[in-house]
Amino acid sequence: MIYADNAATTRISDSVFEKMLPFLCDQYGNASSQYSLGAKAKRAIERARKQVAAAIGAELLEITFTSGGSEANSWVLRCVADTYRNEPMHIVTTAIEHHSVLNACHSLEQTGIEVTYLPVDKTGCISVDNVKAAIKPHTKLVSIMLANNEIGTIQPIADIGLLLKGENVLFHTDAVQSVGHIPVDVSDLRVDFLTASAHKFNGAKGTGILYKRSGLDLSPLVFGGEQERGLRAGTENVAGIVAAGYAIEESVGEIADTSKRLKAMVEDTVNGIKEKIPSVRVNGDSECRLPGTVNLCFYGVSGESLMHLLDLKGVCLSTSSACTSGKGEPSHVLLALGLTEQQAKSAIRISYGKYNCADEVGKVVTAVCDAYKKIVENR
């Protein structure tokens, strides 16, 4: 099997799994317990917090662990809404955000909060000028993802952050697809909130990360005990948090080498497919995108059909975000780029990761082209 859907999830790193395993077996103590077994778990959590903070240029107490990126995104949006519940409120976001942001915004609109969904250009990039023009006197939050999960386009977050420094507006970026894959520094980005998820950078599923700039208030997500400084009650997922710490440390340390290798693999994949299927279209920005991700349209065929045929050939890839797969609806991201519904439904996403190798590229190209040919011949 060739796994080429790393934007959906990643295999846990071998070395990270070894570091995590003791906290599932021997070191299984509750981090809130006062005896030594609990104290070891507590120290492991704080070590992971230190590793995460160092990886993104944050302070130790600016990091809070959650169950995942979606939870962290919802927490930010709902917390800001709650803070300004007695005032007129406006949120600025984009049309291509992950559904954990979009659906939270749709929910907040039902409570009377105004939301502006900014368009993107044909490469999936947001205009800084459009962000500036969207700001209103009652704008309280701007939420724009660092890199898109379907097309990989990287947004000018640092430029937007600089723009917002002159405004009394909070700034959040969903960096779930970015952390561990491209350099991420919260100071350089000038963000107030940043969210990430460990299973996207070879950690374990079930652990998310929320960065909150020092000095900002954050209302509790879950009430109960004093875990996570009283912000998120409940017994901590110690093993998952430990894995997140070591995974982010490992992935950030390997970014330069891994990025170079994955970019070359994507380029060879696109060139190989285009050689046999010249009509194939690359969606998103061909240059300013995540190193291992590429989204392709195969006009006249169904991306879902391609995906299922490739699955039979032992190649795993997707048609869109894993969170929306199976709905049969065209990607909201591709529609925002200006594609028709039929064009959007012809797309597949290939996303290589840490455990893919250059030898797999030829097999992926052959499998994709053979599947495409079979569909065309049987129409």
* 3-state helix/strand/coil string of the chain: CEECECCCCCCCCHHHHHHHHHHCCCCCCCCCCCCHHHHHHHHHHHHHHHHHHHHHCCCHHHEEEECCHHHHHHHHHHHHHHHCCCCCCEEEEECCCCHHHHHHHHHHHCCCCEEEEECCCCCCCCCHHHHHHHCCCCEEEEECCCECCCCCEECCHHHHHHHHCCCCCEEEEECCCCECCECCCHHHHCCCEEEEEHHHCCCCCCCEEEEECCCCCCCCCECCCCHHHHCECCCCCHHHHHHHHHHHHHHHHCHHHHHHHHHHHHHHHHHHHHHHCCCCEEECCCCCECCCEEEEECCCCCHHHHHHHHHHCCEECECCCCCCCCCCCCCHHHHHCCCCHHHHCCEEEEECCCCCCCHHHHHHHHHHHHHHHHHHHCC
Sign of torsion over alpha carbons 54, 59, 65, 69: negative
User: Which is catalytic among the residues 79, 323, 357, 369?
Assistant: 323
Please, how many CA atoms are within 13 Å of residue 134, restricted to the half-sphere of its CB? 25
Measured in whole angstroms, the distance separating CA 31 from the mean position of its chain's CA atoms is 28
Q: Quick count: other Cβ atoms within 10 Å of Cβ 342?
A: 12
Sign of torsion over alpha carbons 21, 22, 28, 34: negative
Q: Is 323 a catalytic residue?
A: yes
Q: Which residues are catalytic?
A: 323
